[in-house]
Amino acid sequence: MALKRRAKISALGRYVPPKTVTNHDLAKIVDTDHDWIVARTGIVERHYVEPGTPTSELAFRAITDLLERRNIRADEIELIIVVTVTPDMLFPATACIVQDRIGATGAWGFDLSAACSGFLYGLTVATQFVETGAHDKVLVVGADVMSSIINFKDRSTCILFGDGAGAVLVEPSDDNELGILDYLNEVDGSGGQYIYMPAGGSLNPASHETVDNRMHYVHQHGQPVFKYAVRKMEELGTKLLQRHGLSAEQIDLFIAHQANARIIDAAAQKLNLTEAQIVRNINKFGNTTAATIPLAIGDALDSGRLKQGTTVLFSAVGAGFTSGAVLSRWAF
């Protein structure tokens, strides 16, 4: 019987805006301090765009970086999946804007909204398009301008988020031992009440009242989000390992969504992973939502921790609740 066509991540591109905002900077505008933020989140600094910079600009820069590294033309891309909760506008899709901007004349595309799990959802979708043979080159870009939906009077949320973008190219693997091995995704809509943006959709269209009541910003109840994230990262990770007969010791790297250092550490502990297996860069970027995992991949590549043959467990939980995990053996 012929082996199933395996998909792989073949290239990575990244972009973060140059403006750095430290905890000390935030302490000047909201009742907080550096030590309090570090102790509760692990974040030291984050990057913000200049006002008026859209998500498509960050996505464009990350994709441009990827195309240069992979040495391919934009018109070779067949499908563009833009993962974001901060689209340039409700319609057209940001994927349409990005497709035109990069000159991907042969591509179709769409936006995917799954909050902090979005990148893994996008990667799962891209993997299936490649596995089925429908496409050979699928672009997944996670990009968010979280500074555009932050309430800077709410210290419980404004300290968490940053802006950034990361893109990966998904192609067929020429080695069936390398690439995306498996994936699991779930939703639990009962958790939607714990992290959400109340206004801007059909339920609460923009009005003077919604603006005055700051309903166009992120609202979060931290404790239930924390508990659910830790539990689901462990559950989905364990299921994937069991399906492939792998032990915790056989995972080389754990690259989780960078929402909070304490969530990452607690989930890793439940999975029986060691400090040496964990990838963290939340200290530098904060929670960039759909961009955290590709930015963490980039840091792991830069440091030499991620290389061909490395077995990686990716994990994320986000608003919705959404959750996902991907098991991969790195291909480049």
Q: Under the phi-then-psi rule, with left for phi > 0, alpha for psi from -120 to 50, and beta for the rest, what region is 135?
A: beta
Q: Are 287 and 281 in contact (CB under 8 A)?
A: no
What is the side-by-side order of every strand in the sheet holding 163-172?
7-15, 163-172, 138-145, 79-83, 108-112
Tokens 């939340």 identify what position? 282
Q: Which long-range contacts (CB under 8 A, 24 or more apart) does 94-100 make?
A: 94/54, 94/55, 94/56, 94/59, 94/143, 97/54, 97/56, 98/56, 98/59, 98/60, 98/63, 98/141
Residue 2 CB burial class (10 angstroms; 0-12, 13-18, ≥19):
exposed
Q: Could you confirm whether 23 is annotated as catalytic?
A: no
Q: Cis omega (within 30 of 0) on the bond before 92?
A: yes
Q: Could you confirm whether 176 is annotated as catalytic?
A: no
Q: Could you confirm whether 287 is annotated as catalytic?
A: yes
Report the alpha-carbon angle 156-157-163, nearest 5: 150
Cβ contacts of 91 within 8 Å, gap of 6 or more: none
Catalytic residue among 96, 257, 260, 281: 257
| Cα–Cα nearest to 122, from 93, 77, 79, 161 | 79
Q: What is the dihedral of CA 58, 63, 65, 69, to 10 degrees?
A: 160
Q: Are 46 and 23 in contact (CB under 8 A)?
A: no
Catalytic residue among 23, 96, 116, 135: 116
Cβ contacts of 90 within 8 Å, gap of 6 or more: none
Catalytic center residues: 116, 257, 287
